[in-house]
Amino acid sequence: MTGFINYHKVLIVGLGMIGGSYAEKLSSLGFEVGALVRRQETLDYALAHGMIAHGHVEVTREYVSQFDLVVFALYPHAFVEWIRRYQDYLKEGAVITDVTGVKRSIVPAVQDMLRPDLEFVPAHPMAGRERSGVEYSDSRVFNGANFIITPTDRNTPEGIELVRTLGCILGFRHIAVLSVEEHDEMIGFLSQLTHCIAVALMDCKASEHLAEYTGDSFRDLTRIARINENMWTELFMENRDELLAQMDLFVDKFSQLREALAGGDTDTMKEMMRLSSYRRSFFDK
Amino acid sequence: MTGFINYHKVLIVGLGMIGGSYAEKLSSLGFEVGALVRRQETLDYALAHGMIAHGHVEVTREYVSQFDLVVFALYPHAFVEWIRRYQDYLKEGAVITDVTGVKRSIVPAVQDMLRPDLEFVPAHPMAGRERSGVEYSDSRVFNGANFIITPTDRNTPEGIELVRTLGCILGFRHIAVLSVEEHDEMIGFLSQLTHCIAVALMDCKASEHLAEYTGDSFRDLTRIARINENMWTELFMENRDELLAQMDLFVDKFSQLREALAGGDTDTMKEMMRLSSYRRSFFDK
């Protein structure tokens, strides 16, 4: 069995904000980080900023086959498509992992077609920024954040341990293990639903002058309304049934508060606020 | 005409988080700050921390009549009730202002019964914290925040200018003037609706373990779910029609996003996200 240090060469496929942050952090720790990207400008930026040791815009067997550990930081469909087209190039026995925000539609699709000598350990770093692109990379967003691994019965203890260690050295504070189903329910609620709320809230009114009157609460609730529409639309569509269920749950609770207000039922209003205050207290860092 | 410096003695009625922060800031600027509070412990705390020069738990003519400027930092009903019972004690020609988060139900009620020699200039500091009580006072929350004055035709330019200056020296960045109706609509949307969303979202699920999986978005959206249920229930009830309208507007937008997702209408989803991203850009500090 090999330890993490044997994986001193890491390939990152896709240098967006998350892939770039992985690259930056791993390079700073002394790993030899390679990258595959679509655009030459991305490569130039990452090389100029010391985020990677080398990289390419074309996928070749010669390059890909050098790496024992490959991190896919792509949109869901692009990740599955990459595996379909290029998995033949991967080094024998390589471990691959990802950063994809949905799991049910991705994990079986990849594991079902993967060469038997390869192992895919799915992971989801719960961190990000409102801006996309390599120039917004910042590995500090991982500090204190949560990292979720969603292994299946096709994973080995060694593969899971390797990715757990990856999460640790990237700086994540809490590393959780969930099933793909648990992950998608959790993320549908904690992440996707909150983005839907922020988008809908921000879409309610023209905002040119709102900023002159607002307090911090509106600002906080709409921070994530600045959103990469292509990525999030794909993530929402890939988790559609679960997200719809979470949206309905939220509207039920919201309507309950609305009805209490409409009917002047202050007891129910206060009860709902006491519950929210109690439950929020678990989130104090 | 007297300038602000002539109002070197200020009485704060109510030392909660906001009243305490007013007191702290004004004392630090050299004003002689007095206070009327309900509980002796509050008085002791404020005196021990140099937030006030003196204060009382009983309302007496002798004490109240010393002040040319009085700030009411009470719940809405308590403020109106105080005026009803004690306005007779106020010094002739005194200016009073407030911090109340609703205006339509408060401003006419107070102005209608106020002695003709007194002037009430309504104001709303758009700042606060999730915790209540004098011990959470912190005048730094005013820095960079918004301050709204809602004068009526009963106010004088001098009175409005006095309260504008008060907002300035407290550290607020932007001082806006709105009608009471505009204020309540704005606040129903920006502040009350956001608190309803946070409460409903936090009430959806038990949370003991959620914190292990969450990213910053859920944390940001639920910060204000930790809420003073008595104060906010009163504020909601005092702005009920407007808040209900804002809640309905939000649910309409949210349902529009839900239907787009349910129907796989990715064009509408992306359009809503582009709009929210554009509108949110005005809030970058």
ipTM: 0.90
* Contacts with B161 (C-beta within 8 Å, 6 or more apart), sequence order: none
B 114-143 residues with CB < 8 A to A: 126-128
- For chains A and B, what is the number of CB pairs under 8 angstroms? 276
Average pLDDT for A94-117: 97
- H helices within chain B, ranges in order? 17-28, 40-48, 61-64, 76-86, 107-113, 157-170, 180-187, 194-203, 216-222, 229-238, 240-262, 266-280
pLDDT tops 90 at residue A257: yes
Higher-pLDDT residue of B6, B203? B203
Q: What is the H or E stretch that residue A219 is in?
A: helix A216-222
pLDDT tops 90 at residue B77: yes
CA-to-CA dists, residue A78 to A13, A70, A127, A173, B66, angstroms:
10, 15, 20, 29, 73
pLDDT tops 90 at residue A50: yes
Nearest by Cα to A134 from A233, A30, A49: A49
Average pLDDT for A249-253: 98
What's the gap in Å between the CA of A130 and the closest CA on chain B?
9
Binning pLDDT at 50, 70 and 90, where does residue A1 land? very low
B107 Cα distance to chain centroid = 14
Average pLDDT for A61-82: 97
Whole-number pLDDT of residue B276: 97
Average pLDDT for B254-263: 98
- The DSSP call for residue B4 is G
Binning pLDDT at 50, 70 and 90, where does residue A7 land? confident
CA angle (B76, B82, B86) in 5-degree steps:
160
Yes or no: say if B148 and B178 are a contact pair by the CB < 8 Å rule.
yes
CA angle (A173, A72, A232) in 5-degree steps:
80
Q: Is A203 on the interface with B (CB under 8 A)?
A: yes
pLDDT tops 70 at residue A270: yes
Higher-pLDDT residue of A125, A283? A125
Average pLDDT for B112-121: 98
Whole-number pLDDT of residue B89: 98
Which residues, listed in sequence order, are joined to residue B33 by a DSSP beta bridge? B10
* pTM, entire model: 0.89
Binning pLDDT at 50, 70 and 90, where does residue B144 land? confident
Average pLDDT for A222-250: 96
Average pLDDT for A213-238: 92
Each residue of A114-157: pLDDT tens digit?
Answer: 999 999 999 999 988 878 899 999 989 999 899 999 999 999 99
Yes or no: say if A123 and A167 are a contact pair by the CB < 8 Å rule.
yes
Whole-number pLDDT of residue A3: 64
Whole-number pLDDT of residue B285: 61
Residue of A189, A243, A276 lying closest to B225 (CB–CB):
A276
Two structure tokens written together for B267: 């064009």
pLDDT tops 90 at residue B52: yes
Residues in B touching A148 (Cβ below 8 Å):
213
Two structure tokens written together for A4: 């993490």
The number of beta carbons lying within 10 Å of the beta carbon of residue B39 is: 11
Q: Which domains does chain A have, with CATH numbers?
A: 4-178 (3.40.50.720), 183-283 (1.10.3660.10)
Whole-number pLDDT of residue B68: 95
Two structure tokens written together for B135: 């011990």
Q: What is the H or E stretch that residue A71 is in?
A: strand A69-72
pLDDT tops 50 at residue B156: yes
Whole-number pLDDT of residue A208: 80
pLDDT tops 60 at residue B132: yes
Binning pLDDT at 50, 70 and 90, where does residue B1 land? very low
CA pair distance A133, B258, nearest whole angstrom: 28
Half-sphere exposure of B247 (CA within 13 A, CB side): 26
CA pair distance B113, B132, nearest whole angstrom: 30
Residue count of chain A? 285
B118 Cα distance to chain centroid = 22
CA pair distance A233, A282, nearest whole angstrom: 30
Quote the mean pLDDT of chain A: 94
Q: Which of B21-30, B53-62, B215-224, B252-261 has the lowest mean pLDDT?
A: B215-224
Each residue of B218-255: pLDDT tens digit?
Answer: 999 999 999 999 999 999 999 999 999 999 999 999 99
A 206-265 residues with CB < 8 A to B: 206-208, 210-227, 229-230, 232-233, 236-237, 240, 243-244, 246-251, 253-258, 261-262, 264
pLDDT tops 70 at residue B107: yes
A80-86: long-range contacts (C-beta < 8 A, 24 or more apart)? Answer: A80/A106, A80/A109, A80/A110, A82/A13, A83/A110, A83/A113, A83/A114, A84/A113, A85/A59, A86/A59
Yes or no: say if B246 and B188 are a contact pair by the CB < 8 Å rule.
yes
Whole-number pLDDT of residue A163: 96
Two structure tokens written together for A61: 């067997």
Name the phi and psi angles at A147, rounded to 5: -130, 125
Average pLDDT for B203-218: 86
Q: What share of chain B is helix, strand, coil (3-state, %, to 5)?
A: 55, 15, 30
CA-to-CA dists, residue B120 to B1, B66, B87, B170, angstroms:
17, 17, 11, 19
Average pLDDT for A49-70: 97
Residues in B touching A196 (Cβ below 8 Å):
254, 257-258, 261
Whole-number pLDDT of residue A45: 97
* Contacts with A67 (C-beta within 8 Å, 6 or more apart), sequence order: A9, A10, A11, A34, A90, A91, A94
pLDDT tops 90 at residue B111: yes
pLDDT tops 70 at residue A5: no
Residues in B touching A207 (Cβ below 8 Å):
279-280, 282-283
DSSP reduced 3-state for B13 = strand
pLDDT tops 80 at residue B157: yes
Binning pLDDT at 50, 70 and 90, where does residue A209 land? confident
CA pair distance B241, B246, nearest whole angstrom: 9
- Distance, first Cα to last Cα, chain A: 37
